Structure 1
Amino acid sequence: MENGFKDSWLSAEVCSPPKCLTKETLTQLDSKLWGRGRAVRICETQWKFIVPVLSTERVNYDFEEEAILPFTNMQTVDGGAFSKVHQVRIQEGHFIDPSRPVNWPSLFAVKQIVPPDSVERQRIADSWANEAQTLRRMNVVHSEHIVRFITAFTRLDIGSERSHYLVFEWAEGGNLENLFTQCQNPTLSANLVKQTVRQLSGLAEALRATHELGIRHGDIKPSNVLRFGASEGDILGTLKIGDWGLAKSHPDATVLRSRRGVATDTRFGTVLYEPPEVELGQLKLMSRLYDIWSMGCLILEIIVWLVHGYEGVRNLRSDIQGSYRERVPYYVVDEVSDGKLKGKLQDAVEKWMDYMAEEPAFDRDTALGQLLVLVRRRLLVVELPPEMGNTVYAKNWEPDSLDSRAGKNPAFSLRPPTPAGEKSEKSGSPRQYRATSAELVAALGLGGIMDASDRPRYYWLNTSAGLRQAPRFYRNANLKALQDSSGMLTPQDLRPLSINSPTIVRSILNSTQFRI
């Protein structure tokens, strides 16, 4: 007290000469009162008295190695090559959220970033402040379909390296991939279809809001869509987009990486859900459309799960994988002429959508049918609009020109205006461009698929002819043929093939399961 020592001076450390100094004031203490032994004891025990209080108003904290974090009941619940997720409780009195003075969450998710090498570690360190600030900006959106960011912190490790952590609200329902595996055969009902469309509409609105901030996600997939508040009567709960670790604030034009050697300025997401422009090596693309393609993949897998269960999702993914040894996306890229590349949707995906379009559940007059058409006509579309904009085309929602309802809410069109002189490969038909997030919102919302007025009574679900069995179509890259195995393929049949393995090729050609 004689030296004016106070709590705000902590943390303190022993320096040489043996005086205890505070980093903030650098005031020397009286050596007669503060011998080295006492100073050392204070510095060793001080951490018990200065456990930090985390606040949503602070973007980032930098903690020393000895710091005691206010986490209790910490357990690792998920881990991958680049991160670990821990479920924690925060000690009472050590969490402040001014926007929510009551009803604080009891559990939180702490995501520890695990860089694979020193280069990535340095990149994370250099961009950490911007990364945390981007996550903070998304809280401003106040979307109930974006996982809420709490704060970020770094902690000094042995060797003077810092580990990086992100804190989010905890998703007690897991993610969509968990739901696919835990509820492998959902009870299909009109209410479940309606809940699904409502949640997809919310996800689209969340994307639109972040896209307007100039932020894209970059890795939308079932395991990154988290579930909150699910119950026996509402197995979906509230879906929220999480894992914004790849999120980045972009200008409209950005450089995308390509597996063909094109330079990049950012990391990317899961191969299965990435769009064709990544492989095509196109530059200065409107990167927000990256998310739209991934949403198309996500919606397709959701509606496959609704009607054909997890077996259908597995079959779809196996058909896309085909005989490729490496993981492949929903599209293929071919060289057409003079070294020019052209992307197209995988035949297996087209085959799946053709199959479902013939099912009563996907009748054009149903919500599922319109979702399928939306995916096919405006989401899983290779061609990008010539310019990026937020304009919603003021035309009727038309899943099919033969099924147009004149005078219906002018919100969205599957066929956007075509620039003068531009036609698709099909003579006379307008070009199809991938939708923007604003258009996706219009398509799914009350002016689109969510609008059940003037719809047939079976709009939310048509099972008049029952449900068909989940198909399995196998695309063999070496034979360049699409096969229909009627669900009879075994895991052994789906092993990767080599073009230099004639015995394997002949055995498949002779199989009664295949028709060429």
Structure 2
Amino acid sequence: MARDIDLRDKISCIEESLSFVPHDMLKSLITQENVEEVLKNTNPKAHELDTWSAAYRGKLASFVIKDANAIFAILLMMKRPRRIEEFFENRLKNEILPISVIGKERPPKVQSRNMHMTMAEDRLRNTFLSSVWEPSDIREFIIKQWIFLSPVLKQSEFEFEFKFDFEMTLPWTPCYSPVEPIRGVYAQVEKRAVPISHFNLTWGQHLIAVKKLTGGRQEKNAKKEADALKLLRTIQSEHVIKGIIYFKKQTMKDSSQTFWHLEFKGEKPELGKDFLVWAVGQLFGLMDAIRMMHDLGLRHGDLKPENILCFPDSSQPGAIPVRLVITDVGLSKAHEKSTSERKEQLREATTTTVSTTRYQPPELKMQRTEDHVLPRCFDVWSAGCIFMEFLVWMLYGKKELLTFTRKTESVEYWEKDDKCFKVRKVVCEQLHAMTQDENCTNDPALVGLADLIKNNFLIIDVWSLVHGRDKNIVSRVSLTRNKSSASTKLMKTSKKLTKRIARVLTNKQRNCSDTLQERYRDTSEQATENIRKIKTEILSRTNGVD
């Protein structure tokens, strides 16, 4: 009797405290021994004693354990465990769930909402039309069923526009280590945990990021981001976010994940070999993930610390069991987009908050009003800004990072005077200070990383700027083509005109440089290879294998 009461109490507590019951929890509660004990204490009537034998109760318990543990748990919540006998006799299993009532007939007409259970409709109706089922009992069963019907997230396919009932609870809960939500102009991202029994994936772990779209254009932005997430699933990199499910719901109690910039604003790290193996390995992984995106024709276009999540992962080499993952691909740009779509995307990318434009390169300023596909080096500049802040934290810790970010928090990493674009003075000063720092100069890997940021990432790409200005001039000349006969002659000279202006602009840019040599920002392929060399050098010192 004590076991029976204990199980009933646990089921009651679950109903009061949880929005859904994980599958593994249900299995641990509804055991053969527990079920038999509950059935034994259901006090059968005198004329039922012959049929209500231990052997029969054992059969019922076996049926429950194998096929109907959710149904039995619902009946326990209703304090009607004996009614499992009707489901057993009519061969009705968990797969009939969820059920619903059709119309307003009396007695209620019950059907399964599982499209594969049409063959069981007669048996289902016979069960619920029996004399022991009052309409109020049926309503209670329908309400209580949802706590056991949270879905399993699958790897086999991206649940694109996942359809589910309004009453269904998706299988995540608040994290044991809560993190403040990340709030942007168009979305909010929070951290959530998924029970292992609801996370049928070979990659990832039980922590996920749940993103809720806010503001205007939710329908359009949701579809755009879902398309990009679906494409990103083809990238074989653990440093790119993997889409699991895309859904629409009138009200969502969602959320998930923390980004590295906040996560790592902690004490100054010990710059030992294990830490460097981890740090450079993560930067390499992020850069390689960007390269893979570029190979698919995608440009992220909004890389910033808030869009790099921090996933616990004990398999990562080095000192910290954390993996950095790129997310928020909602504004990713693809070459295959139509002209109108590219213009709209560019407008969205250039009218977001300062926190977004802070990490964007100067060519965005030149291409602000133009039909221009973002070049690959756009994301490389953004990565350089992020990697620089990462290096500041590595060398100096939280205090210096906060000081540096406050100096640049309302501005981009570049500035423009009357003559040209250039890397902002405070950024140059910080880079110079790091290259002279004893902790940096004593380690070839840190020197290499600082040099990469300075000489390969944060480069004012002259030809990206020239091409934007050049194209704008051609567009203005083209507008006059049909207005007069003189326009034809003007068009013939337009190429000479734009070449001349390009030379002038290039010369101005050169005058701002330390050298007269043209400088180009790394492509993502070059950047990945350069970081790989640093990673290899560190591993060779630690007797690791690349």
Q: Would the TM-score normalized by the shorter structure come out above 0.5?
A: yes
Deviation at 1:166, TM superposition (A): 7.2
The C-alpha deviation readout for 1:247-300, integer Å capped at 9, x for no partner, is 525117844878xxx676996762332222333444304254332111111221
Corresponding residue of 1:437: 524
The C-alpha deviation readout for 1:360-406, integer Å capped at 9, x for no partner, is 5555993323322221222112326559xxxxxxxxxxxxxxxxxxx
CA contact (8 A) 1:89 1:108 kept: yes
Of 189, 192, 199, the residue aligned with 1:87 is 192
In the alignment, structure 1 residue 109 sits paired with structure 2 residue 208:
yes
Q: Distance in 2 between matches of 1:382 and 1:255?
A: 23
In the alignment, structure 1 residue 279 sits paired with structure 2 residue 365:
yes
Of 123, 141, 145, the residue aligned with 2:239 is 145
SS at match of 2:180: strand
Q: Distance in 1 between matches of 2:397 and 2:366?
A: 33
SS at match of 1:246: coil
Instruction: Tell me which amino acid in the other structure corresponds to 2:143.
Output: E
CA contact (8 A) 1:62 1:155 kept: no
Q: Distance in 1 between matches of 2:100 and 2:344?
A: 47
Q: Distance in 2 between matches of 1:54 and 1:24?
A: 18
Instruction: Tell me which amino acid in the other structure corresponds to 1:345.
Output: V
Of 147, 151, 158, the residue aligned with 1:52 is 151
Corresponding residue of 1:481: none
Of 406, 421, 425, the residue aligned with 2:510 is 425
The structure with the largest alpha-carbon Rg is 2
The C-alpha deviation readout for 1:36-62, integer Å capped at 9, x for no partner, is 545434432332453322212242323
Instruction: Tell me which amino acid in the other structure corresponds to 1:96.
Output: N
1:77–1:263 CA distance, 2 compared to 1 (3 A)? closer
Deviation at 1:146, TM superposition (A): 2.7
% identical equivalent positions? 22
CA contact (8 A) 1:215 1:248 kept: yes
The C-alpha deviation readout for 1:418-461, integer Å capped at 9, x for no partner, is x9997651498332122211110121113xx34549x9x9xxxx
Of 375, 393, 400, the residue aligned with 1:305 is 393
Corresponding residue of 1:209: 292
Q: Distance in 1 between matches of 2:90 and 2:220?
A: 39
CA contact (8 A) 2:239 2:289 kept: yes
In the alignment, structure 1 residue 370 sits paired with structure 2 residue 448:
yes
Deviation at 1:78, TM superposition (A): 2.5
Q: How does 1:158-169 map to 2 (within 5 A)?
A: 163=252
1:73–1:367 CA distance, 2 compared to 1 (3 A)? closer
The C-alpha deviation readout for 1:130-187, integer Å capped at 9, x for no partner, is 4234224323222132344433344343xxxxx49577xx78xx724322x222x223
Of 67, 78, 84, the residue aligned with 2:168 is 67
Q: Distance in 2 between matches of 1:263 and 1:137?
A: 21
Q: Distance in 2 between matches of 1:245 and 1:256?
A: 16
1:444–1:248 CA distance, 2 compared to 1 (3 A)? same
In the alignment, structure 1 residue 96 sits paired with structure 2 residue 200:
yes
Corresponding residue of 1:485: none
Corresponding residue of 2:262: 177
SS at match of 1:369: helix
Deviation at 1:227, TM superposition (A): 5.2
Q: Distance in 1 between matches of 2:235 and 2:344?
A: 26
CA contact (8 A) 1:194 1:450 kept: yes
Q: Distance in 1 between matches of 2:262 and 2:445?
A: 23
Deviation at 1:111, TM superposition (A): 1.4
The C-alpha deviation readout for 1:174-231, integer Å capped at 9, x for no partner, is 724322x222x22334554454333322221111112212233334334425254479
1:71–1:166 CA distance, 2 compared to 1 (3 A)? closer
CA contact (8 A) 1:53 1:96 kept: yes
**5+ unaligned residues in a row in structure 1: which ranges?**
158-162, 322-326, 337-341, 388-418, 458-516
Q: Distance in 2 between matches of 1:35 and 1:50?
A: 23
Corresponding residue of 2:324: 240
SS at match of 2:179: strand
Deviation at 1:17, TM superposition (A): 3.6
CA contact (8 A) 1:300 1:375 kept: yes
Instruction: Tell me which amino acid in the other structure corresponds to 2:361.
Output: P
CA contact (8 A) 1:72 1:91 kept: no
Q: Distance in 1 between matches of 2:333 and 2:246?
A: 18
Of 373, 382, 387, the residue aligned with 2:460 is 382
SS at match of 1:220: coil
Deviation at 1:32, TM superposition (A): 6.2
Of 397, 404, 422, the residue aligned with 1:344 is 422
**5+ unaligned residues in a row in structure 2: which ranges?**
1-86, 466-501, 542-546
Which is richer in helix? 2
The C-alpha deviation readout for 1:318-349, integer Å capped at 9, x for no partner, is 3325xxxxx2221224455xxxxx53221111
Q: Distance in 1 between matches of 2:189 and 2:142?
A: 31
Corresponding residue of 2:226: 132
Instruction: Tell me which amino acid in the other structure corresponds to 1:204.
Output: M
CA contact (8 A) 1:305 1:312 kept: yes
Corresponding residue of 2:414: 331
Instruction: Tell me which amino acid in the other structure corresponds to 1:351.
Output: E
CA contact (8 A) 1:112 1:164 kept: no
Instruction: Tell me which amino acid in the other structure corresponds to 2:191.
Output: H
1:80–1:445 CA distance, 2 compared to 1 (3 A)? closer
Q: Distance in 1 between matches of 2:170 and 2:348?
A: 40
Which is richer in strand? 1
Instruction: Tell me which amino acid in the other structure corresponds to 1:54.
Output: L
Q: Distance in 1 between matches of 2:280 and 2:129?
A: 74
Q: How does 1:408-423 map to 2 (within 5 A)?
A: none
CA contact (8 A) 2:299 2:333 kept: yes
1:131–1:290 CA distance, 2 compared to 1 (3 A)? same
CA contact (8 A) 2:228 2:332 kept: yes
CA contact (8 A) 1:219 1:270 kept: yes
Instruction: Tell me which amino acid in the other structure corresponds to 1:55.
Output: K
Of 251, 255, 268, the residue aligned with 2:335 is 251
Q: Distance in 2 between matches of 1:48 and 1:365?
A: 56
CA contact (8 A) 2:150 2:168 kept: yes
CA contact (8 A) 2:278 2:319 kept: no
Tell me the number of residue pairs that the alignment of Structure 1 and Structure 2 aligns.
Answer: 387
